[in-house]
Every structure is written in C-alpha cells, then in structure tokens.
Structure 1
C-alpha cells in the first residue's frame, strides 16, 4: 500500500543521483592532499606571520527559542548542553545519535539500524516509542521539526547541536515533554570559506567531507556540502567470517541566501541523505570478545534509507521586532529486515535445527511543516515571541513479507494534522528579577487505515482521533551577582495519543496521550571572560500514561499500553580554560527514574511499580581535556600548532527493559585526538573507544532464557587530515 494524496505538498522536491563512493573518495582525497601540499609550501615561504594562533574565547550565544534571536544561555531558566560543530568533528561524532549518547543525562536505545531509536532526557521519554510519530523529545533541524527516527544519519556541515532539557512544549509543541534537540547547520556567508576533511581507520572506517561557500553576486550567497562515510559492524557473520554488514552513507546539501534588502533575507536549502546496508542488529548475549551472528550473507543487501528535505526561510526585520517564516518538506523512505538469526532461534526454541527468521519493515513519510512567528529584536530588554505552526504528515509502515512469504503481511497508513499557536516572554520584574512565561494550544487530528493478512484471511481497520491540549511553562530568574543567576521553572508537557506502527490485529493500534509536570531549580555561573563557567540543576518530572509497547517474542504480537513514570535527579556542568592553552570541562548527571504503576498480562512479562525506567542509568558523566599550544619549529614547519584532546565518558548500569529482567553493564569509554596544524592545515591521529569495550546499544529479554542486544563498535584507530580556508 502506498502513500495517499500528498504529492501536492511538495515544495521543491529534487533528485540527487547516487555517485560511486569510490570515485568520490578518490577525488576528494586527491584534491585535499594537493591543496594541503601547496599550502604547506606557501606557509614555509611566508613564515610565522601566516601561522595559526590559539583562538580567543568567543561570546557564547544560543538560539534555544527558535528564530534568529541569539540569547546568553545564562539568562535562560532551564538546563542545556551545547555542542559546537568543532567539538563534533574533533570527537568523531558521526551522527546526532553519537552526540546524544555522549551527553550525560541523555539516553538512547537503538539497534544500530537507520530507523529505530528511543530518546530520554533526564529519565523522561516513552518507555518504548509506539510509532514514528511518538517521541517525548522533539528534534528540530534549522527551525523545522524532523522525526527522531532520523538521528542515525550523518552530521552534515553542522554548526551546533543544542540539547534543551526539561519540557519544551511551549515553543516546540507536542513531542517535547522531556526536552528538545536543536540542530543548526552552517549557512552561506558573504566571505569565501570552506573545508576539506578526510579520515581513514580500522574496521572499515573512513570519512570524506567538504564544504564550499561564499558570495555569488552582490545579493546572493551559496554553500554546498557533501559527506561520504562507511564502517563495518562489529559483528562477524559465522557463515562468511566477514562483518555482518558494511554500512555506507552519503549526504549532500545545497543552500542559497538572498539578501533582498538590508532588512529582508531568503534562505533556500535542499539536502539528500542516503544510508545503505544499515540493519537492525539482534545479537545473542553475552557477546564475548568477538560478537557473532549466524545469518544469510545477503540479508542486509536491500536495506536502505533515503531522506530528502527542502526548506524555505524568510526573515524580515521591523523597527520593533522581526518576522520569520520557515517552510519545510521532508520525504523519507526506509526498508530493512528485522532478523532473528539462527543462534537467537536456537536459544528461544531449544531446537538445534532452528533457522533464522526475518520480517521486512518498510516505512514512508511525507511531512510538510510551516511556522510563522514574530519576535523581539536581538538585545531587547524584554524577549517576546508569538507564532502559529502547522504540520501535515502522510506516512505508511508496512510488513509486506517475512521468511514464510506474504501470507501474514500488514499494511498501515497514517495521517497527522497538527495546528498550534504559541507565545512566550521573558520580562524584568525588578532590578534583579525576570519572569519567563509561555503557553501553547495545539489541535491534533489523526487517522489510521490498516489491512492485516493472516493465512488466507484479510481484515481491515479504520480509526480516527481528535485531540487538543495546552502546554506551557513559567519560571523566575534572580541575578544573585553579576556572574551568578539562580532560577526555577515549572512546566507542563504533553505527548499526544495515536496509533502504533506495529499493530497486527484490529483493536491493538490505539494508545492514550501522556501528560507531564516537571519542576527545575538551578544556577548558572560564568566569569566575564568565560574562562570559568558552571551550571547545576535539581529536577523532578512526573509523567502520566507514558507510552509502552507490549511485545510477545514467541508470537511476535505487539500491543500498546500505558504506564506512569517519575524521574528526579541532579546535574552539574563546568568548564575552565587556563592561560597555558589547557581546557578542562566535564558534566555529571544522577537520575532516579522509576515506573510507578503496575501493568499486568503483557507481552514478555509483567511490569511492576517500582521498576526502574529502561535505558536510564543512575550515574553518567563526561570529562574532557583539550590543549592547544604553538610549539617550536621542526620538519620545516615555521610555527606549528599542537592540538590535543582526550575524552572520558562513563555510563552506569541501567535496566534493559521495563520488566527489569536484567541490567546492561556500566562502561567506560575513552577517545583521543592528537593533531599538528600549520597555517590552515592539520594532520591528526585519532582513537575511539580505546578500552575496546563492546558495550550495549540496547538489550532485551525473551522468555524463558534468551538475552539479546546490539554491541557498540570496539577500539578503532585512524589518521585524518583537515584543510580550512
């Protein structure tokens, strides 16, 4: 069954052909090395005047409330983690998922595939997402919402990724009861600039990336970015002795900025990302030193995901405010088998002659979004914003065939129409006090049409749902000193009800909406020169009717249920830059997150009140040491720059499932990067997961005795080169 009646929503669909990956790699690396060699010679001739200097500390701003308004994060009454594009590149964080896994207080459940992920912030989030339309964490790309199912795709030419903690439903609508992720990509500028970067490492790891942009005419600027990468899954196929799959990703984006007048600009962007051979990994635990699967060699050959996105942003500045209109259209398609290999089947059934079982999943979505807003000018004494938004989605989620053919196929079509209006302000109450208050009203309309095949029987089902809800927040900030703000925030969130993706019988699709109330008390400190910053918060979140899928591993039947949860905890972040080029930064999070209601007679076991929320550890933390310093000339380099980075991440023990059948072990992850720069060029060596731990990406228990999950990549070492201009 295909998508219904959405081609009229297309606002600039485009087609970018799939180029041969080997040709791209050869061309990019050849160009990169040629330019690098030419520049090295020029640098030797020009001497130390052309040498790179240690950068000064920038002014820290963030666009946490959308639009073009940049604010000091110290003034915002909620916690956040800001990850710059430079940090993303230096740490080798290839996808948004990688960034989130490396952020304490944020947790991800994924199987290594391109289309399945669960997100938690501060322990809040759907226990298991019901559908592609179900998440408690909103993900926004350049001001427009995208599905959280796309976080496995590549970080293409990213300026920053901001993690906004606590309910963000006021400005980001439903699907943000636990927080929001803001992804900002680099835009065209009036200066000629760009970069070329290449990396090569063990386990099939390689990356080729580049971007180029600048003025085209007096009023028009452009930028194009491309990135191609691949890696080997850390799982050996017993039938071949090779990696079970070797995913390959290609991403391209083009942008045009038209400065119509000094007060008006238009930004047009189009991108395409494609991932091939990314499958959902279901691996029998324990993994041992060399995780293995026993599957057909070509099982992932047809797996691919393509996401095409077009956007149009119009900005105009008035004397008293600014207007922003953002329109986006996303077309995404994914197909991949869910495979239970021979080892899993033997463990589950006790039959030594069992064979693998697989079921194909196909999803297709077309989403149009529109946001119109008026807001205060940057630097205004009183921040205010008001706007309207709409979302129209047509999508499908089908199981057209499995190991035994097409006799048990399921076809499901969904539509979602969501409209809302919102407003928020931050205004001074007294000399040292400010008030933040926001409110949003949303209307939600959904339909569901399905056809279930069972043997020779075909059953249809049609349902609809209409809902409206209010989300909002109110907070106070007090300037204790010129360097220290303390704040409190109370928020109400909402995660709409709907129809789950995996229903295989009438009456099993619908689920109720979840509501949340959260409170936060925190402080933010920064020295005037930003050499020392420190933030901390206490938080509490209560979620009623959180979303939980019930899965029966013996029959593969899935149903939707709800359960209440609550989370409380504390987090602390700090960064200190010394005068000698050394920077020490770190953050730590403690979360106590529990299920507070009993849920009986479901899938693979009862869920009891008092069980811990799956995937959420009590303790997680990150520590980073970075060092930049010019060193004495050598090897003909007149003024080389040493650039070193060491990252340590700790993830505590966490439950694998809502039943708390078993725990996923704690792990320690150490990454390093050591670079030597001269002028605009840098050569570096890197190492990731130096302790070589195959920690779990997720885990699950299938009664009576089968444990499975997906192992993370072990130790990988490699080389890289980067040239900027």
Structure 2
C-alpha cells in the first residue's frame, strides 16, 4: 500500500542562558513541535495512529503550511545527515510514545523512557494543539477509555459523570440527550428546546436535540470544553461544548469489526474499513447495529402484556471520502441513522411518599401501564458535510458546508401507572419535518512569528416542524386522538468572528477573540384539538430576535518545562427561546437572551518525569436572565422563564498516572455550586399529598430564590485503573472504572421525593489481546453497574411520583479484530 508520510518539524529550540541543558540549534527559530507517522510497522508497534492534522507548529499552534514546509526543507538538508536522522527518530518516538524532550544533543538523542503518558491533541480552538498548552478547561476521551465506556449498546449518555462537571440525562431514552456542564443545562423536553451546551460532530453543530442522540461509533476522540465557547463556536455555548471527531480516511488499508452479546439478549456490532482508492483519494465506511429485545412486562389490570417495553434496534452508518492534493484537501461525510424501539420506561407510584426511596419490592422489569401496547419510538436522521481546505503560503482557508435532518415519533404512557379514578396520560411528540443548513468560512494564518489569527463567518438556517398529540387510553377503540398541536419554528443566524494569538515572550502568550452574532426565530403554534375541552387556539406569528457580541481573553504562562498556568475570561450568550407546547395550556411563552461571564484560572502540569499529569481549574461565573423551564408543577405544561441572576463556582481536577510498567490510572473530580438569585422567582405549587415540597409556598406559589439548578450535582468524580500483562504471545488486560455523582434535584423546586440520591456505578472489563500477521484480535468480558445500583435519576411531575431509573447491571462478552 501507498503510505502517506506526515513530515515532521520538531524541537528547534531557542534556549536562554537559564534554560540549562538545552542544545541551541538555530537562534532564528522558536519552538516547533509536531507529530508524524512514517511506517506502518511503527504505528502497529505502538497501537496508535496520529491524524494528519497533528502536524502543528508548537510556537503558534497553527497547522503547518505545506508551502512553508517546502521552503524549509533546504535548510534541513544543510544539517548533518546523522543529526537530522537522530532528530527525526527522536521525534517519531516522542510523538508515538508521548515522550517530552527538553534536551536534544546535536549528534545523539537521549534515550526514550518507557511508559510515559501520550501527548493528547485537541482542537478546542479549531487548531490542533497539545491539550496541556491550551488555555481552556478541556478534557478528552480517547483510546482504551473511550472504547470501554462507549462499547456494547451504550448511547451518548455513556459520558455521564465520566468527565469533570459533565452530566447527561434524557426522558426520551436513546434519543434527545440533555447535557449539563458546570450545572448549566435545560430540562425542557419539548422538541424545539435549546440547550446551553452545544454538540459539534465532525466540525458541524448539531442544534436540535434529536440530532444530538446520533450513536457514537468509530470515533477517534471526544473533547469536552467547559465554560463559555462563544467566540469560535458561537450561539448556544454559554455552558460549554461537547465535540466528537470521527476516524478519518487514510491511504493505508485498515479497519476493524467487533461483535458483543449481553444482558437481555442485547447484540451489538460495529465496524469500519477504509484505504486508498487512488494516490490522492481515500475512503472509510463505518457501520453500527445495536439490537435488544423487549423485556419489561406490563401488569396493569386488564392491560397485561409480556415483554412490552425496553427494546430497540438502532442502525447507523457513515461514509467519508478524503481527497489530498498538493495544497488542497477535500473531505466529504455522509451519515444516516434508523432507530426503531421503545421510549424510556416511566415507573409510576415508585417513590415512597416522604422519602426518595424506591418502593419496597420495586422491579425494574415491571410497569403498570395501560398504554404500553402502543408505546413506540422511531428516529430517522441523516446529514452530509463537505470540508474544503486550501493551503496558501502563509494562510489556510477552510470552508465547511453541512446539512442535517431529523425525524422522530415517540409515544408513551407518561404517568407510568394505571390508577382507578385518574385519566391516563398517553401522549406523543413528533418531528415530521426538519432541515438544518450551516456554512462556515474561516481563514487562519500560519506565520512563524509572534502573531497569528483566525477570522471567519458563519451562517445557520433551520426549519423545524413539531407535532404534539394526546390520546384517550380508555376509548373504543383504545388510543383515539384527543389533542393535537402543530408548532413551526424557523431560525436564521449569522456571525462574524476573529481570534488573535500573540506571543509576548517565550513563556507568555495571549489570545483574544471577538464574535458578533445575529439570531432570529419565527414561530407559530396551532391547537386544533384539546384533551381538556378547550377550543382551538392559534398563537399567530411570533418573532424573537437579538444580537450579541461575545468575547474572550486568555493568557498562558509557561512556569517551567512541565507546568503551564492559564487564565481566561469569557462572555457568551444563548439566543431567545420559545415554548409552544400548548396541548393543556393557552400561552406560548418566551425567554429573553441569557448572557454569561465566566472567570477561570488553572494549572496544567506534567509531573514525575512524564509519568503523571495533573490539571486543575477554579472558576466563577455569573449568568444574567438565565433561561429555565418550569416543567409540570401546578400546571400540566412547560413554561419558559428568565431568572434575574444565577451564580456558579467550583473547581475541577483532571489527572492521569503511569503507576508502573503494567498499571495506569486516572482520577477526576469536580465541585459545582449553583444558586438562583431572584426574590420574585416562583412557579405554581404542585398540589398532591404524595409530594413533600421543601421550598417556601406562599399563596399557591413555590418560591425558588436560593435553589440550586436542576440536574446539577455538586460533586462528580471518576476513577479508572488499567492493568496489562504480557502473557504467552499476547497481552492480558483488565480495566475498571468507578463514577460518582452527588444528589440532584429533578425540577426547579425542591422536594423530598424528587431528589435523586447520590449514584455510584462501577464497571469492569477484562480480556486477552494478541496479534497474528496483519490482524489484531481481542476477546473480553465486561460488566456495567457491577453492584446493580438502582435509583431514580429523573421524574415526571404529573399525577403521581413517576420516575425513571438508571440502567440495571449489564453483563456481556465481546470479540474484536483490527486489520491493517
């Protein structure tokens, strides 16, 4: 096969007198640091594949311009051949093994130490950079950790409590995930709900919540950026950003396939294959198939049904084509998903009144639904993107054009129970039509000097149709439609942005960014039928719009070769929102723009001579006019509101350790304290004897001032341990993780019953890996939620204490093969 060589510049180090031990190669160059893979044998030996985008300039963190590379080659040839060979070999081993070199001799490179941590490359600022040098609180999942967390039937919620300050939940199940970073999120379950945490997949924003549920497979890296990201990534990022990067095509033929079998008859397969079609064109095809049988029985009197809920069939695929010219690259990506399953199970009357304990004898495979036979969830989505990139002498021009579309129909027994004297709450939501178009055009400089910049424009256009239904469970025939609302929302937004990096000295760098955004929504809601006997209702056409200037400024100071200290102040916003879920109400509610200003400082350090990594951040933010959703409460519909002021503060610790030749560990910890500050903030009080509200109630209103945000745990922690041991002709491995999140409130008000207890979940994975020629094999057994911890993780604020519970213990086996 033809191998695409990623050529490397590295470690041209300008040393001062105090930097003892450094070899001064050339006083005309500052630090250059990059990565490469030259031969298949090296990549196989280290089991790592570095992306082409990892060719970077360490001084400016810019993609190294190919034309500049050509101009510098004659200078390299002027060096002694033995010196150049030594440097290239040292760089190769450094990039693949994660070794950091602070001294390089002219004729002989220092010995490479074993078991040092790999260098983690991120694109948090739309450039490939060493995560330790980025002045942003960013965590990355890749390699073994990513494989262990996301394998065997897991949807995107696998990241919950695995990264500092990140939690994820859903009242839909495998679709419509809701993200929370540093306590900031949105509990709204209507299908036009906006979120303050943005999801970007392969450099394309996934705005609608259904798009955010696309399965995770054949992914090279996940990044979580905490804090406002409004300068480079724009609208709806006041809390942060979750970023997925798929494995890209390459000229080398390679692929993998894995199949697993687990609890409740779950079968999962995923695989990918790719390689060069011509010397310049390569492709990669990735597929996923997940299947699980229904296993939850309904025992409602007169509505008994065996295996009514809990199953799904989820299929997804992605195909990519990469063209690599001399100074031009083009990447085309098409992806599609088709899911047919059941919604998450709601367990009615499952909390003991006056406590937050599950009722005695609770069974997670039994419900008492009178509408389980009609429960369904069907999701279809597809999208395509085209990334074009031109390398000019000192600049790179990038264009990203994308289209995304999603459809869903989800129907469920919402109150989760059969109760004599109460009407059943059987309803459905759907998106029959949705299209999202985005266009980004970005120009980045590639200067070797002290200043570099990015400037760009962005355009967003979304057309969204939503349908809300209610049904009469006891009609004849059962399930007649009794309510219908159609919502139409069209959103247009555009922005211009710029960011400048300035190197003040060898140790101090400053970055400043600015973005002007203009956002407009046009909305209408029409009710033609009401389940409560109200007449038809039309909202008419409602327009909300706003513009905002987001900004950030950060500094990065190199304390020494192993420690970087950064500071960051950032401002961002979330555009105005609308809520038109009016099956049971008569008001379309709106929420004004929310803005946030965040202050943070942190240390990123490599310790123990490269065998440890400790990153720590402290932060404080103030959010004005935060958009929140009153879900349920004293009225059976969702309503938007703004909070005068919300504050949050805390710290995050992210660490990784090489404990021995055979043992690696990570430990992460975060603390988040959030508080609503608005003495006029209140919602209608729920009135039922099974609910114990702990907030003050005045004139039928629950006062919310001083409450923490919903689904905002104060503590999140995660610990992993990986053991490997050479055995026979292969390797035995064992991987364990423990995640913890402290208690949470499900809703804006605080109550005894709807307070989720602290949750601890433990996972184990053990297996054996071996190689045979161009194939690598792996067989493993695994368990998630080892101790079968079952607790309520969300609630439905309706007629009764209806909750959702976390996934039960899951046991499985997996076989995987990689081929080259």
Deviation sequence 1:331-357 (CA, Å, 0-9, x none)? 1001101423462x63xxxxx354532
Instruction: Indicate the residue corresponding to 2:789 in structure 1.
Output: 693
Tell me, yes or no, if the aligned pair for 1:54 and 1:628 is still in contact at 8 Å: no
Give the superposition deviation at 1:293: 1.7
Distance between the aligned counterparts of 2:44 and 2:493, measured in 1?
Answer: 53
- The reply to whether residue 421 of structure 1 matches residue 496 of structure 2 is yes
Instruction: Indicate the residue corresponding to 1:641 in structure 2.
Output: 731
Distance between the aligned counterparts of 2:620 and 2:129, measured in 1?
Answer: 25
Q: Bigger shift: 426-435 or 366-375?
A: 426-435
User: Aligned to 2:235, which of 174, 181, 187?
Assistant: 174
Instruction: Indicate the residue corresponding to 1:630 in structure 2.
Output: 726
Instruction: Indicate the residue corresponding to 1:99 in structure 2.
Output: 159
Say which SS state the counterpart of residue 337 (structure 1) adopts.
Answer: strand
TM-score of the superposition, structure 1-length normalised?
0.86
Structure 1 residues 650 and 435: alpha-carbon distance in aligned structure 2, compared to 1, 3 A threshold: same
Tell me, yes or no, if the aligned pair for 1:130 and 1:547 is still in contact at 8 Å: no
Tell me, yes or no, if the aligned pair for 2:575 and 2:592 is still in contact at 8 Å: yes
Structure 1 residues 65 and 235: alpha-carbon distance in aligned structure 2, compared to 1, 3 A threshold: farther
- The reply to whether residue 122 of structure 1 matches residue 168 of structure 2 is no
Aligned pairs (5 A) from 1:496-535: 496-504=575-583, 507-527=587-607, 530-535=610-615
Tell me, yes or no, if the aligned pair for 2:717 and 2:740 is still in contact at 8 Å: yes
Distance between the aligned counterparts of 1:717 and 1:379, measured in 2?
Answer: 53
User: Aligned to 2:570, which of 491, 494, 512?
Assistant: 491
Superposition RMSD in Å: 2.5
Distance between the aligned counterparts of 2:336 and 2:461, measured in 1?
Answer: 20
Distance between the aligned counterparts of 2:135 and 2:295, measured in 1?
Answer: 42
Deviation sequence 1:536-561 (CA, Å, 0-9, x none)? 01111111121222244675233221
- The reply to whether residue 590 of structure 1 matches residue 654 of structure 2 is no
Structure 1 residues 100 and 127: alpha-carbon distance in aligned structure 2, compared to 1, 3 A threshold: same
- The reply to whether residue 290 of structure 1 matches residue 363 of structure 2 is yes
User: Aligned to 1:457, which of 519, 535, 548?
Assistant: 535
Instruction: Indicate the residue corresponding to 1:474 in structure 2.
Output: 553
Give the superposition deviation at 1:594: 1.5
Distance between the aligned counterparts of 2:294 and 2:133, measured in 1?
Answer: 43
TM-score of the superposition, structure 2-length normalised?
0.77
Give the superposition deviation at 1:480: 1.1
Distance between the aligned counterparts of 1:530 and 1:240, measured in 2?
Answer: 59
Give the superposition deviation at 1:409: 1.1
User: Aligned to 1:64, which of 101, 124, 128?
Assistant: 124
Distance between the aligned counterparts of 1:387 and 1:129, measured in 2?
Answer: 33
Give the superposition deviation at 1:399: 1.2
Instruction: Indicate the residue corresponding to 1:362 in structure 2.
Output: 430
User: Aligned to 1:226, which of 271, 287, 300?
Assistant: 287
Q: Which runs of 4+ in 1 moved over 6 A?
A: 49-55
Structure 1 residues 51 and 266: alpha-carbon distance in aligned structure 2, compared to 1, 3 A threshold: closer
Instruction: Indicate the residue corresponding to 1:245 in structure 2.
Output: 310
Instruction: Indicate the residue corresponding to 2:148 in structure 1.
Output: 90
Say which SS state the counterpart of residue 191 (structure 1) adopts.
Answer: coil
Q: Bigger shift: 550-559 or 467-476?
A: 550-559
- Of structures 1 and 2, the one scoring higher in RCO (CA 8 A, sep 6+) is 1
Q: Bigger shift: 111-120 or 215-224?
A: 111-120
Distance between the aligned counterparts of 1:256 and 1:213, measured in 2?
Answer: 10
Q: Bigger shift: 645-654 or 128-137?
A: 128-137
Distance between the aligned counterparts of 2:143 and 2:429, measured in 1?
Answer: 34
Structure 1 residues 549 and 459: alpha-carbon distance in aligned structure 2, compared to 1, 3 A threshold: same
Instruction: Indicate the residue corresponding to 2:682 in structure 1.
Output: 600
Instruction: Indicate the residue corresponding to 2:510 in structure 1.
Output: 435
Deviation sequence 1:604-650 (CA, Å, 0-9, x none)? 4524211111111111100000122212x2xxxxx111121010111
Structure 1 residues 198 and 377: alpha-carbon distance in aligned structure 2, compared to 1, 3 A threshold: farther
Structure 1 residues 676 and 383: alpha-carbon distance in aligned structure 2, compared to 1, 3 A threshold: farther
Distance between the aligned counterparts of 1:699 and 1:133, measured in 2?
Answer: 18
User: Aligned to 1:656, which of 725, 739, 746?
Assistant: 746
Distance between the aligned counterparts of 1:323 and 1:122, measured in 2?
Answer: 34
Give the superposition deviation at 1:366: 0.7
- The reply to whether residue 446 of structure 1 matches residue 521 of structure 2 is yes
Q: Bigger shift: 387-396 or 101-110?
A: 101-110
Tell me, yes or no, if the aligned pair for 1:235 and 1:290 is still in contact at 8 Å: no
Say which SS state the counterpart of residue 527 (structure 2) adopts.
Answer: strand
Give the superposition deviation at 1:241: 4.1
Tell me, yes or no, if the aligned pair for 2:669 and 2:716 is still in contact at 8 Å: yes
Aligned pairs (5 A) from 1:99-248: 99-126=159-186, 128=188, 132-147=192-207, 148-231=209-292, 235-238=296-299, 239-242=304-307, 244-248=309-313
- The reply to whether residue 620 of structure 1 matches residue 728 of structure 2 is no
Distance between the aligned counterparts of 2:176 and 2:497, measured in 1?
Answer: 30
Say which SS state the counterpart of residue 218 (structure 1) adopts.
Answer: coil
Deviation sequence 1:176-222 (CA, Å, 0-9, x none)? 00000111001110100100101111123221111000001122111
Structure 1 residues 185 and 450: alpha-carbon distance in aligned structure 2, compared to 1, 3 A threshold: same
Deviation sequence 1:131-179 (CA, Å, 0-9, x none)? 5351101110111100344343310211111000000011111110000
Tell me, yes or no, if the aligned pair for 1:234 and 1:713 is still in contact at 8 Å: no
Distance between the aligned counterparts of 2:674 and 2:175, measured in 1?
Answer: 26
Give the superposition deviation at 1:108: 2.1
Q: Bigger shift: 611-620 or 187-196?
A: 611-620
Distance between the aligned counterparts of 1:379 and 1:88, measured in 2?
Answer: 35
Q: Bigger shift: 393-402 or 596-605?
A: 596-605
Gaps of 5+ in 2: 1-41, 49-96, 99-117, 352-357, 473-478, 687-700
Tell me, yes or no, if the aligned pair for 1:91 and 1:673 is still in contact at 8 Å: no
Give the superposition deviation at 1:297: 6.8
Q: Bigger shift: 370-379 or 559-568?
A: 370-379
Distance between the aligned counterparts of 1:530 and 1:143, measured in 2?
Answer: 31
Structure 1 residues 459 and 503: alpha-carbon distance in aligned structure 2, compared to 1, 3 A threshold: closer
Distance between the aligned counterparts of 2:535 and 2:423, measured in 1?
Answer: 26
Instruction: Indicate the residue corresponding to 1:75 in structure 2.
Output: 133
Deviation sequence 1:486-509 (CA, Å, 0-9, x none)? 111111110111212524455423
Tell me, yes or no, if the aligned pair for 2:159 and 2:167 is still in contact at 8 Å: no
Distance between the aligned counterparts of 1:112 and 1:572, measured in 2?
Answer: 31
Instruction: Indicate the residue corresponding to 2:655 in structure 1.
Output: 574
Say which SS state the counterpart of residue 471 (structure 2) adopts.
Answer: coil
Tell me, yes or no, if the aligned pair for 2:238 and 2:574 is still in contact at 8 Å: yes
Tell me, yes or no, if the aligned pair for 1:645 and 1:672 is still in contact at 8 Å: yes
Distance between the aligned counterparts of 2:191 and 2:712, measured in 1?
Answer: 20
User: Aligned to 1:258, which of 299, 303, 323?
Assistant: 323
User: Aligned to 1:313, which of 365, 387, 393?
Assistant: 387
Structure 1 residues 179 and 473: alpha-carbon distance in aligned structure 2, compared to 1, 3 A threshold: same
Instruction: Indicate the residue corresponding to 1:684 in structure 2.
Output: 780
